Structure 1
Amino acid sequence: MSPKQFIGSEAQTTYQESKIVILPIPFEKTTTYRQGCQNGAAAIIEASDQLEAYDIELETEICQEAGIYTLNAIASTIDNPSLTPEEMMSITTARVLELIGDGKFVIALGGEHSITAGVVTAYQQILNEPFTVIQIDAHGDMRHSYEGSIYNHACVMRRVLDLGLPTLPVGIRAICLEEAKLIKAKQIPVIWAKDIYQNNNWIEKAIAQITTDRVFITIDLDGLDPSFMPGVGTPEPGGLNWYELNQFLQKIFQKHQVVGCDIMELAPTSDSVVSEFIAAKLVYKLAGYHHQLNPN
């Protein structure tokens, strides 16, 4: 059976014709507070059917011009509850390698943030030059291990650092002592949430920290302010708002080649569709920015 398509009936394309693919990865094994992110990808795709195809900012119907195709889900703990983080990593890396080989721009949808390590590993294996992983997040996610696992969602950016890739954490407002020491030791250029609200030039400051031409963007949705993104596992006050997030993403696409993206950690709430609809709109923005600003 064909998968439900992102933006529904508006997405009139085949895999072969598509330039952008949506890869659902409904994996959830190590979440430590509010659970439910294994349902995040499906909720985003369902909500996308309510999006307007025309984007006011970009002045185009992105789905008609870019070609967006939604793939079958992989690494699903809904279908396979016994799936381990190590197995998820292997499955994810192999699938993303196939998609990169077919020339697709991949937007992966989680699922928990540990997934990102598997996605990034695929790009690290295939690209012949370093790239920066831009992390929009409330939390550092740089613990060596957590609750007995180095593949816990709280360790994902430590695994990215282990790959030898530079990172740019943005919107961070909750870390542990171990992470604070690591940030100082490695001189990681964190853009703290408190500094975003105190500095009108924070976007220029953030962009200036990127030392590579290519970047990968990972968005943990708790990086956004929970006043409009409540459907996450561990909400932290003081996150990015919608317009500053979009302005930052647009600048990244303008100044750097974005090789891929992911959106993680949506945990839908039972009494509201706000979070999944905003997440779907964010996916559509990423697709639009790629189509207009990084077409190759």
Structure 2
Amino acid sequence: MIPQQFIGSEAQTTYEQAKVVILPIPYEKTTTYRKGCQNGPEAIITASEQLEAYDLELEQEVCQQTGIFTTEAIASTKLNPDLAPEMMMEIVSNRVSELINDGKFVIALGGEHSITAAIVAAYQQQLSQPFTVIQIDAHGDMRHSYEGSIYNHACVMRRVLDMGLPTLPVGIRSICLEEAQLIKQQQIPVVWGRDIYQNSDWIDRAIALISTEKVFITIDLDGLDPSSMPGVGTPEPGGLNWYELIKFMRAVFTRHQVIGCDIMELAPTSDSVASEFTAAKLVYKLIAYAQLKVN
């Protein structure tokens, strides 16, 4: 159970009135290095109580313009450690479908990245038009299987590709041979981490690679550089900084129709709240871009 509301009393509203729904999914079964991402959703929501409601960039109190409602957590391995991946997929897909049918803009909080496949599957089932999945990440996550499971967090984007959806990985700086071969064979467009540092116009180049009007955004927090986001399970040097990420997010929201988002893989550290506070602020920026007109 996660009783707090995102950003606390600043955003109190009913489910019926809310435009944005925060969906905590504290599921963790396949993490392979530093564990703890099942604690991510609660840490983000707790940290959000320290956010200022006023957004300097948009010059508005976003939560006063947009009703935000935080639902009860689902698919929690904190409550059910033996929850199988197949059951998690069914629970998450069904719940996200309900929220879509109710007209909510969903921001899911993980939990491990494998959850994203279930969220994307729900959108694909509910929408008649194709959409692109934009993946902010340090890793390709395109293995067919890993450690004996096709539902491993290292396989999530392969499951999305299996759905026949276009993807745009951004910030990637670590892949295996299998993934390198798949990228070449399927001509998957990738914005590599080095591309971001070598090209000042990388955002325009990235946007040009999106082939659909609608997009879904999945953010593995290790897409950010570990200097600003140390609280992840598999950190990689050379990631995006805060302003690069939010500038890209604003461009995507401005030029495309974003149908939903998720933020995954926060594994809180014991000696600092920087990671969860940064993640909470990122959630708030996504809400701002989703619900307020940006020019």
When normalised by structure 1's length, the TM-score is 0.98
Map 1:43-192 → 2, pairs under 5 A: 43-192=43-192
Gaps of 5+ in 1: none
CA RMSD, Structure 1 to Structure 2 (Å):
1.0
Partners of 1:99 and 1:77 lie apart in 2 by 22
TM-superposed CA distance for 1:268, in Å, is 0.1
Partners of 1:131 and 1:208 lie apart in 2 by 15
Could you report, residue by residue, the CA deviation over 1:1-36 in whole angstroms, capped at 9, with x for unpaired residues? Answer: 882100011012110000000000000000000000
Counterpart position of 1:34: 34
Could you report, residue by residue, the CA deviation over 1:31-68 in whole angstroms, capped at 9, with x for unpaired residues? Answer: 00000000000000000000000000011111111111
Partners of 1:119 and 1:2 lie apart in 2 by 20
Letter of the 1:186 counterpart: Q
Gaps of 5+ in 2: none
TM-superposed CA distance for 1:293, in Å, is 3.7
Given that residues 253 and 293 in structure 1 are in contact (C-alpha distance below 8 angstroms), is that contact kept between their aligned partners in structure 2?
no
Given that residues 253 and 289 in structure 1 are in contact (C-alpha distance below 8 angstroms), is that contact kept between their aligned partners in structure 2?
yes
Partners of 2:179 and 2:128 lie apart in 1 by 29
Could you report, residue by residue, the CA deviation over 1:267-292 in whole angstroms, capped at 9, with x for unpaired residues? Answer: 00000000000000000000000011
Given that residues 2 and 42 in structure 2 are in contact (C-alpha distance below 8 angstroms), is that contact kept between their aligned partners in structure 1?
no
Map 1:249-288 → 2, pairs under 5 A: 249-288=249-288
SS in structure 1 of the partner of residue 100 of structure 2: helix
TM-superposed CA distance for 1:241, in Å, is 0.4
SS in structure 1 of the partner of residue 5 of structure 2: coil
Given that residues 5 and 12 in structure 2 are in contact (C-alpha distance below 8 angstroms), is that contact kept between their aligned partners in structure 1?
no
Map 1:237-256 → 2, pairs under 5 A: 237-256=237-256
Moved more, 285-294 or 92-101: 285-294
Partners of 2:126 and 2:50 lie apart in 1 by 36
When normalised by structure 2's length, the TM-score is 0.99
Moved over 6 A (4+): none
Instruction: Figure out how many residues of one structure are paired with residues of the other and give that number.
Output: 294
Letter of the 2:211 counterpart: T
Counterpart position of 1:209: 209
Could you report, residue by residue, the CA deviation over 1:211-232 in whole angstroms, capped at 9, with x for unpaired residues? Answer: 1000000000000000010000
Could you report, residue by residue, the CA deviation over 1:108-153 in whole angstroms, capped at 9, with x for unpaired residues? Answer: 0000000000000000001001100000000000000000000000
Partners of 2:143 and 2:25 lie apart in 1 by 23
- Does 2:193 correspond to 1:193? yes
Partners of 2:219 and 2:74 lie apart in 1 by 19
